[in-house]
Amino acid sequence: MLVSDLVTEAPSDDVREVVGEARDRTRFEEEALELSDQVYRVARRIAGSREDAEDLVQETYVRAFRNWRSYEPRTNLRAWLLRILTNLNIDRGRRSQRAPDTQSLEESDYFLYGKLDDQSESDVEKLVGRLSQDSIVDALAAVPHDFRDVVVLVDLSDFSYADAARILDIPIGTVMSRLHRGRRVLKQQLASTEVVA
């Protein structure tokens, strides 16, 4: 057989399969990398520090690239990646925090505004703008993990309750109750910041 015969010979099924898989994997990896800044944003809020967030994202991608076959194409890849990330974060032995049932929580959703409101400032944007980036970031970091995860997914990352429930593997009702409680804890934290107090 001549070499030219080998070259023009139709690829065997095995070869076609290998090439097809390499192409699918490449596409998967590219799509996952496109989302890396969004994955980092979530990691940054649920991990304690910038370094922890970077480590967590790297571990997430190691696992994602290794298990890419279990991702179902055309489903929500960002949710799939974040499910890995939140599981890893729990595996890393983050300190489990009890929901602060006993922590006194202001009963009012208007509480923060009662403190923040300043009759001389009618523009609500300016009023809220007095809360600095640092105070916001610190206040969110002080919200217990379980509540914070839900706030980060729903309020900061636009996931539906159903997606947040799937990512965190908890019932939708729990997503809603944690969300409302988490929002209230955050507002309570903000109410105690210097600018407001």
Nearer to another protein, 2 or 157 (CB): 157
Q: What's the number of CA atoms in the CB half-sphere (13 Å) around residue 78?
A: 17
User: What residues numbered 60-99 form the site for another protein, per CB under 8 A?
Assistant: 61-62, 65
Select from 146, 148, 186, 189 the one that contacts another protein (CB under 8 A). 186
User: What residues numbered 12-51 form the site for another protein, per CB under 8 A?
Assistant: 22, 25-26, 29, 33, 36-37, 40-41, 44-45, 50
DSSP track, 185-196: HHHHHHHTSTTT
Q: What tokens does 31 get?
A: 């799509």
* Least distance CB 104 / another protein (angstroms): 19
Q: What tokens does 115 get?
A: 């403190």
Select from 11, 27, 48, 117 the one that contacts another protein (CB under 8 A). 117
Nearest-5° angle of CA 150, CA 155, CA 92? Answer: 35
Q: Which CB contacts under 8 angstroms, 24+ apart, belong to 157-163?
A: 157/38, 157/41, 157/42, 157/82, 159/79, 163/76, 163/79
| Residues engaged in binding another protein (CB under 8 A) | 22, 25-26, 29, 33, 36-37, 40-41, 44-45, 50, 54, 57-58, 61-62, 65, 108-110, 112-114, 116-117, 124-125, 127-129, 131-133, 136-137, 140, 155-156, 176, 179-180, 183, 186-187
